Amino acid sequence: MASITADSTIRTTDGERPGFTYTPALMLTVFMLMIGGFIVLASASMAIPDRGRSSTGLAAETQEQVPSPMNSIRKQLVYCCIGIVMAFAAYLLPHRVFKSHTLFWVVAAMVIGMLAMVYVIPGEANDAKNVDRWVRIPVLGLTIQPSEPAKLGIIVMVAIWAYLNPQRIQNPFDFRGLLTPGLVIGVVLGLIFLEPDYATTLICGSIAMATFFIAGASIRWVTLALALLIGVVGFTVTQKVGERSARINAWKNIWTSESQTLRDENRQQLASVKAIASGQLLGKGLGLGSAKLGSLSEHDSDFIFAVVAEEFGFVGSLSMLLGFVFILYAGTSISINSKDLFGRVLAMGIVTMISVQVVLNLATTTALVPNTGLTLPFFSKGGSSLIIMLVSMGLLMGVERETRAPLKPSTTDLLPENSRASDNPFAS
């Protein structure tokens, strides 16, 4: 027998939580995805020295200036080790520490503080595309992208707020229950928007709206907020003359335009689609892909799926996608079986974050949407993304650990059968 208490906690009378555990299978799936990611990244990184060579084949830079193909692997391995340690800590962290208004404001301050750092602390990567998205940590020699932990921070904040204020957030006629977390998340989205990073702003906003909806917020408020966000970002992008508006205009004419200028804007997506198609059933073989040597300059990050499809074919691509599908299925099951609203919202929010990022990355590499600049989880080069994905998986498996933990019996359960209120003739 099971019952739901006033604080949205599911209680079983026998103190046990039967059911299949997904944690071992999730660990194996994530491990296999990471191994595959390192293999593909190693193959993609072999093209890095060619970026520094001229068309005649002569070195255009000195050997010290040309990055070694193994540098990316070593750096990614460091991030992986950090992520595994943090994921294990997240897995063991008891959920009771999250369930307070104090931690809500602590998480909010950390997320906003990290995003504000990009305007204060310069990073070496900031000049790559004339944007402020990275912060360099001199002591560790590592670079982080604060918008990545912001995605997870938004999910945690909504989960905490939903658990502490279930009646207020689920009232369809009162938006005040959404006002406080909405304003905090609005500040977070504003800081990302000003970097500028319009794609990540939309992603974070979509994750926030989906998480609010999972928490029980009215569809009218969620739809209104999402429409407002899309309108602001869409208007800014269409009115702003520059790289982003040119990128969207080029994408709209990707298959029809004869203009060389538009073809240059689309060269990455065109090369990506060609590479995916050339992989056919079994691919060309590890390291034998040619797209990474040509116009696909982001082959180790945003367009790494093109390398997967070209070198491992349809079979390899499908194997990778099945891994993400299992994470989606297992995460959804963990969310449904969670013992309280915090775990339910946290698990489903993490699943939403991973799913949205995978879908948009694949849509970008297949030219179904304009280039969003989103990475492919566990595959693309980038320490911030890898660490956050591993921590997210640790939290997801932690939800199942908390769900399967025996619940303490209530005070009534400890009383003898003949002493309970229902059997007491003096009870009012």
Q: CB neighbours (10 Å) of residue 70?
A: 13
Residue 12 CA, distance from chain mean position = 33
The average confidence (pLDDT) of the chain is: 81
Last residue of a domain, one of 208, 240, 272: 240
**Are 33 and 143 found together in one domain?**
no
pLDDT at 7 over 90: no
**Are 281 and 331 found together in one domain?**
yes
pLDDT at 49 over 50: no
**Are 88 and 100 found together in one domain?**
no
**Are 399 and 277 found together in one domain?**
yes
Is the pTM for the entire model greater than 0.95? no
Pick the range with the lowest mean pLDDT from 104-113, 198-207, 284-293, 329-338.
284-293
User: What pLDDT is attached to residue 301?
Assistant: 86
**Are 165 and 220 found together in one domain?**
yes
**Are 78 and 137 found together in one domain?**
no
**Are 167 and 267 found together in one domain?**
no
Is residue 87 in some structural domain?
Answer: yes
Is residue 10 in some structural domain?
Answer: no
Is residue 352 in some structural domain?
Answer: no
- Residue 201 vs residues 28, 365, 374: alpha-carbon distances, Å: 32, 20, 11
**Are 85 and 144 found together in one domain?**
no
Is residue 249 a contact partner of residue 262, using CB atoms and an 8 Å limit?
A: yes
User: What pLDDT is attached to residue 244?
Assistant: 64
Long-range CB pairs of 92-99, under 8 A, 24+ apart, other chains included: 92/398, 92/401, 93/395, 93/398, 94/402, 95/340, 95/342, 95/343, 95/398, 95/399, 95/402, 98/156, 98/159, 98/160, 98/163, 98/342, 99/160, 99/163, 99/164, 99/342
**30-46 per-position pLDDT tens digit:** 999 999 999 998 888 77
Q: Cα separation of 133 and 116, whole Å?
A: 10
**For a pLDDT cut of 70, what percent of the chain falls above it?**
78
Residue 136: which domain range?
A: 95-240
**Are 323 and 196 found together in one domain?**
no
Q: Which of 306, 373, 307, 384 has its CA nearest to residue 76?
A: 384
Is residue 61 in some structural domain?
Answer: no
Is residue 16 in some structural domain?
Answer: no
Is residue 207 in some structural domain?
Answer: yes
**Exposed/middle/buried for residue 115 (C-beta within 10 Å: 0-12, 13-18, 19+):** buried
Buried b (16+ CB within 10 A) or exposed e, 351-387: bbbbbbbbebbbebbbbebbbbbbbbbbbbbbbbbbb
Is residue 198 in some structural domain?
Answer: yes
**342-361 per-position pLDDT tens digit:** 999 999 999 999 999 999 99
Is residue 13 in some structural domain?
Answer: no
Would you mind telling me the total number of residues written for the chain in this entry? 428
Domain count, the chain: 2
